Copies of this chain bind each other. A is one copy, B any other.
Amino acid sequence: MPYQAPTADQLFVLKDVLGLETYANLPKFADAPMDLIEQIVEEGAKFCENVLAPLNKVGDTQGCKWLPDNTVTTPDGFKEAYKQLVETGFPALAADPAHGGQGLPGVINVAFSEASSSSNMAFSMFPGLTSGNYAAIASRGSDEQKATYCAKLASGEWSGTMNLTEPHCGTDLGLLRTKAVPRGDGTYRISGQKIWISAGEHDVSENIIHLVLARIEGAPPGVKGISLFIVPKYIPNADGSPGARNEGVKCAGLEHKMGIHGNPTCVMAYDDAIGYLIGEENGGLSIMFIMMNEARLWVGLQGLSQAEAAYQAAVTFAKERLQGRSLTGPKNPDGPADPIIVHPDVRRMLMESKATIEGMRALLYWTILQEDLAHVHPDEQARQKAGDLVGLMTPICKAYLTDKGFEIASLAMQVHGGSGFTEHFPASQYLRDSRITMIYEGTNGIQALDLVGRKLPAKGGRAAMALLAELNAVAADAGEDPAVAPYVDALNTARERLQDATGWLMQNAMANPDNAGAASTDFLRLVTLAGLCMVWTKAAKIAAARVAAGDSNPFYANKLATGRFFLERIAPEGALHLTRMKTGAAAMMALPAEAF
C-alpha cells in the first residue's frame, strides 16, 4: 500500500492533545475553526498522496542534473507538481494577509507539511526552504524588500535558499570569507563560494531568492562581522516580474550524495553578484537565526516524516510477507505461512516505531503551537513562556526526531529483510534520505550544545523552569483515572531525572566545561523523554476518558496500548542517560589525539 497521510492521528493531536479549539479567542486562531482545520488536513493529504508520493522514487532514481550552462533540471514531474502546489495555496496558509497569505496560525500547516515531506522529502524541500526565507524577509526586510519579495515567496511563485556554508566553514561561521563590497548605490557586490546549498539552482520556480551570509569589506572578524544579503537569481522589475539575470551568481556544480537526489545540493559561485543588505550591517547572524530556528523545527519534521513513511512501508510488507508460523500457533492456517507481523520481534520493531512516531508527532505539533502562541497570545507573560518553550524544544525536536527518523527507517529496512536492501522496495530511499536530517541545519551534536550551552542557561534558566512548570501542570491535570496513573508516574520520574541532571550540570559544568559538552547528548535525551511523557500523559488522559465513556472507535484503546509500549520500553531509557551523563568528561577526554 502506498503512503497514506496519518490524518486520524494528526487530527487527534491537533484537536485533542493540543486542544486547538480552546485557543479560538486568540488572533489567527479565531479564523481557524476545527472544521476548517479538518478540511485543510484532509485536502492536503490527498494532494500529497496523489501528486507528491508518486514522484518520490522518480526523484531518487533520476536525480537532478547539472548542465554546462550552469542550469539544473529537476526530475520528471517535479516542475508540474510544484506548479500545482502553488495553485493549491497551501504554502501561503500561514503567511501574512498583507503578502497574500491567509494569516492562519502556523500549526495549521504542520499536518500538511508532515504529509508532504513523508510523500516526497526531496520535493518538499523546495517550498520548505522558501518558507524560512519568507519568514526572514517578512520580519527583518525593509518595506521595499517586503513589497518586492514577500508575496512571491509566500505563494511559492519564487523560491528561496539559505547560503551559509563555505568549504572551510560549516558549524563555525566565524571563519566565513564571502565578501560584500559596496557598489555605491546602496547595493553590494557579493563574491565567494558557498557549498551545500539546497535548491540553489533548479527549474521549478520562476525566480530564486538567495539569502547569503557575507562579510562587508572592513567588517570585524568572527561572527560579529557577518551581514545578510538578498541575492536574487533574476533582479525583480518594478512591476514585480523577474528581470535581468544577476550574472554574478551561478551554480558551479552539484554534490553527489547518498540521498535526497530529487533536490539539488549546489555549489554556488558568487562573483560580483548584485546583493541587497537585509537588516543592519554586521547583523546577519541574528536574521539567519530566524530562518535557522524555523528550519530546525522543519528538519525535525522531516525526521518524523521519514519515520512515518518508512514505518508504513514496513507495516505493508509485514502484513503481506508470509514466512514462518506464529509461536502461539498458526494465524493464517490456510496459507503456506503466517504474515511476519505475527512474530514478536517484528512487532517489537513496528511498535517501537509506532510509539516513537506518535510521541514525536505530538511533541513537535505542541512545540509549533507554542511558536504561534509566542506571537499571538495577548498576554505578555504567556507569550514569553511560549517563546522560551519553543527555544528550548527546538534543538530537542531537531535532534531527537531526526535521530529517530533514521533509526525507524533502519528498523523498516530490517522488517523488509533482504528485500529492504534492494532498491525495488522503498526502505532504502527512506534510510538514505532521512540520514541527512541528522546533519544539516546544525548537526545533532550542535543541537545538544545549543541546548546545554545556550538554551538552558539563558535568562537564568527561565526556559527550563517553564518546562518543569508545564510538566507539573500536566501531571496535576491528569486526573484520577487509574489508566492514566502510569503515565503520570513516568512523567514524574522523567521530571525528577531532568532536575537531577540539571543540578549535576550546574555543579559540574562550571568546574570543567568539557563536562557540559560530554553530557550534552544524554541531557538532550532526558529533556526529550520528559517532553514525550508530557504529551503521552495528555494523550492518555483523553484516550482513557473516551474508552471509559464507551467510545466505539478503536483508535482510543489502540492509543493506550501504544502508550503502554512507550512506558514500558522507551521511557526507562532515561535511567541510562542519567547514569551516562554523570560519568562526566574524564573517560571521554582521557586519550591523546594520537591514540585514536
Stretch from A36-44, A125-133, A170-178 at the B interface: A170-178
Are A588 and B351 in contact, with the CB atoms below 8 A?
yes
Interface residue? A448 (CB, 8 A): yes
A589 CA / B165 CA spacing, docked (Å): 47
A587 CA / B410 CA spacing, docked (Å): 22
Are B517 and A345 in contact, with the CB atoms below 8 A?
yes
**Which chain B residues lie closer than 8 Å to A422 at the CB level?**
255-258, 265
Are B175 and A337 in contact, with the CB atoms below 8 A?
yes
**Which chain B residues lie closer than 8 Å to A175 at the CB level?**
323, 336-337
Give 1 or 0 for each of A412-429: 1 = CB within 8 Å of chain B CB: 011001101111100010
Are B424 and A256 in contact, with the CB atoms below 8 A?
yes
Give 1 or 0 for each of A234-257: 1 = CB within 8 Å of chain B CB: 000000000000000000000111
Interface residue? A595 (CB, 8 A): yes
**Which chain B residues lie closer than 8 Å to A336 at the CB level?**
168, 175
**Which chain B residues lie closer than 8 Å to A341 at the CB level?**
593, 596
Q: Which of A324, A349, A417 has the most CB of B within 10 A?
A: A417
Q: Out of B417, B439, B514, B565, which one reaches A170, CB within 8 Å?
A: B417
- Nearest B residue to A311, CB-CB: B596
A448 CA / B414 CA spacing, docked (Å): 14
Are B588 and A580 in contact, with the CB atoms below 8 A?
no
CB distance from A132 to the nearest CB of B (A): 18
Are B439 and A417 in contact, with the CB atoms below 8 A?
yes
- Nearest B residue to A564, CB-CB: B587
Are B414 and A514 in contact, with the CB atoms below 8 A?
no
A461 CA / B152 CA spacing, docked (Å): 71
Stretch from A296-304, A463-471, A570-578 at the B interface: A570-578
Q: Out of B172, B512, B586, which one reaches A323, CB within 8 Å?
A: B172
Interface residue? A354 (CB, 8 A): yes
CB distance from A242 to the nearest CB of B (A): 30
Interface residue? A449 (CB, 8 A): yes
A438 touching B414 in the complex, CB below 8 Å, given contacts A449-B345, A587-B561: yes
CB distance from A161 to the nearest CB of B (A): 15
A561 touching B421 in the complex, CB below 8 Å, given contacts A337-B175, A344-B585, A517-B344: no
Are B423 and A350 in contact, with the CB atoms below 8 A?
no
A1 CA / B328 CA spacing, docked (Å): 54
**Which chain B residues lie closer than 8 Å to A342 at the CB level?**
593
Interface residue? A156 (CB, 8 A): no
Are A421 and B258 in contact, with the CB atoms below 8 A?
yes
CB distance from A566 to the nearest CB of B (A): 9
Give 1 or 0 for each of A425-451: 1 = CB within 8 Å of chain B CB: 000100110011011100111001100
Can you spell out 19 A-B residue pairs with CB atoms less than 8 angstroms apart?
A: A168-B336, A169-B323, A175-B337, A327-B517, A341-B593, A344-B516, A344-B588, A348-B518, A350-B596, A354-B596, A413-B435, A414-B444, A418-B440, A554-B592, A561-B595, A564-B590, A575-B575, A575-B576, A575-B579
9 cross-chain pairs, A with B, having the tightest CB-CB distances, nearest first: A344-B517, A327-B513, A345-B445, A568-B583, A561-B590, A344-B518, A172-B323, A256-B423, A258-B428
- 10 more A-B contacts (CB under 8 A) besides A175-B323, A350-B596, A413-B439? A328-B513, A349-B445, A351-B591, A414-B438, A417-B443, A561-B587, A564-B586, A565-B587, A568-B580, A569-B583
